[in-house]
Structure 1
Amino acid sequence: MARQSSADPSEVGKFDALASRWWDRSGPMRPLHAMNPARAAWIMQRIRAQYATGPVRLLDVGCGAGLLSESLARAGCRVTGIDAAPETIEVARAHAAAQGLTITYRAAETTDLRAEGLRFPVITALEVIEHVPDPQGFLNDLAALLEPGGLLFISTLNRTAQSFAIAKLGAEYLLRLLPVGTHAWSRFITPGELAILCRNAGLCLSDIAGLVPTPLTGGFRAARNLSVNYIALARN
């Protein structure tokens, strides 16, 4: 049975308030802009290892205004993006149209798609699980939406002293890269906890990488260091 809701209303409101600034590279989504190329490349490398060069149907959960959705659409995926924040979805639609990209956007939650019986060969859920009220229920939904043999990509923040100093105190209070209150450190999820959540949902983590800054370029790269941001691949 699908759950009634997978979203926290306070979290939805928080991100809807930032909708108009989502594509501002120097605005509150600056860290996501910086990480997006590295994350998209890591995802596409693994998609192509399994699905070769053909178009692949992909569900981007918690897509926001479409940073990742647009990158994956340009790389050849047929993207459906969902987000519980309706104003953010409107920004995503407008931006994709202006770029000439065909992306299906819906103001919806995982529970809605699960109730409709939809399934996808590839699902991405980046920087989402630390914002939902029930991480296990959320993973259960993602597992139910994943086709047999499919790929599920999840990124989040590790709950460490380093992430508290960098992603919470540094990003929100010292450097003001993010609005204060964007993250709750207590909701960060360790790789071990994510592995347990996946296993409980019938999934198995098969690959994982940290995302670390590259100061000279202002971007990020995949690395072994999982102490702050990391991305993982799970399979059913």
Structure 2
Amino acid sequence: MSGTTIRAGEIEKFDALAARWWDPRGPMAPLHAMNPLRTRWIAERLRRGGDLTGLSILDVGCGAGLASEALARRGARVTGLDMAAEALTVARAHAAAGGLDIAYRDGRPEDLTDTFEAVVALEVVEHVADRMAFLAALARATRPGGMVFLSTLNRTARSFLMAKVGAEYVLRLLPRGTHDWRSFVTPSELGDALRRAGFRVADLAGMAMDARGNWRETRDVGVNYILAARRA
């Protein structure tokens, strides 16, 4: 996650979860459940059939590498970027154990000099302090004509009840304090900010969990959603 665009304390918050990041029943359980849908949705919009062989992808706010590994297993050349040092240590060890060649970097998107065919930032934008600065950094990291993908939480009464109160305090699916509902962003707000950063929104879908705990794509963007945009 970015050092200048991230809110104070966010890096430490996610670093503290590093040791249990890959535990599918641990504090990152919701991301484990959501990850197949997110990465499949991204892959299918990058290439027909979802084969990403040779495609360069930057995973911003990669944490311990859930999305990075899933994209690498589809053949992409993945660079994972974060400033949570403990999480990156776990990411490197887990990738090595799985025989995956992923370039993990400790750094900020605004400091990058190289560019990528696709940039993903999953469950990150709701944690940044300066949304426009963050999106501008993603734009600079995306090659002209390339794609950016963001998944996040809509700022609605339903998301407050389900993703904040329900997930953190009632069901305890996430550690308390994981999210600040005031920093959730509506699709229209995010789309407008992306356009100002030089992107054109290409696709939008909701993500919802069924009674069995499986995530599926839906038209309902009232809580979780994922968005694809193309750089001019």
TM-score range, shorter chain: over 0.9
2:220 is aligned with 1:225? yes
Q: Structure 2 length normalisation: TM-score? A: 0.96
With 178-187 and 196-205 compared, the bigger mean Cα shift is at 196-205
SS in 2 for 1:65: coil
**Letter in structure 1 aligned against 2:225:** Y
Residues 100 and 206 of structure 1: CA distance in aligned 2, closer, same or farther (over 3 Å): same
Report the equivalent of 2:29.
30
Residues of 2 paired with 1:52 and 1:22: CA distance? 26
Is the contact made by 1:210 and 1:224 (CA closer than 8 Å) also made in structure 2? yes
Deviation of 1:219 (Å): 1.6
Deviation of 1:84 (Å): 1.4
Residue 202 of structure 1, aligned match among 198, 201, 217: 198
**Letter in structure 2 aligned against 1:183:** H
Report the equivalent of 2:58.
59
Report the equivalent of 1:119.
115
2:137 is aligned with 1:135? no
Report the equivalent of 1:214.
210
SS in 2 for 1:235: strand
Report the equivalent of 2:150.
154
Deviation of 1:52 (Å): 6.7
**Letter in structure 1 aligned against 2:152:** T
**Letter in structure 2 aligned against 1:23:** W
With 53-62 and 39-48 compared, the bigger mean Cα shift is at 53-62
Q: Structure 1 length normalisation: TM-score? A: 0.94
Residues of 1 paired with 2:138 and 2:60: CA distance? 9
Residue deviations 1:69-99 (CA, integer Å, cap 9, x gap): 0000001100000011111000000000111
Report the equivalent of 1:191.
187
Residue deviations 1:101-153 (CA, integer Å, cap 9, x gap): 1100011111221xxx2110100000001101101110010011110110100
SS in 1 for 2:47: helix
2:159 is aligned with 1:169? no
Residues of 2 paired with 1:51 and 1:42: CA distance? 9
Residues 96 and 53 of structure 1: CA distance in aligned 2, closer, same or farther (over 3 Å): closer
Residues of 2 paired with 1:23 and 1:73: CA distance? 16
Stretches of structure 1 lacking an aligned partner (at least 5 in a row): none
Note the 1:5-84 alignment, pairs <5 A: 5-49=4-48, 54-84=53-83
Stretches of structure 2 lacking an aligned partner (at least 5 in a row): none
SS in 2 for 1:159: coil
Is the contact made by 1:6 and 1:110 (CA closer than 8 Å) also made in structure 2? no
Report the equivalent of 2:101.
102
Residue deviations 1:36-95 (CA, integer Å, cap 9, x gap): 001111011011139976410100000010000000000110000001111100000000
Across the aligned residues of Structure 1 and Structure 2, the Cα RMSD in angstroms comes to 1.6
Count of matched residue pairs: 230
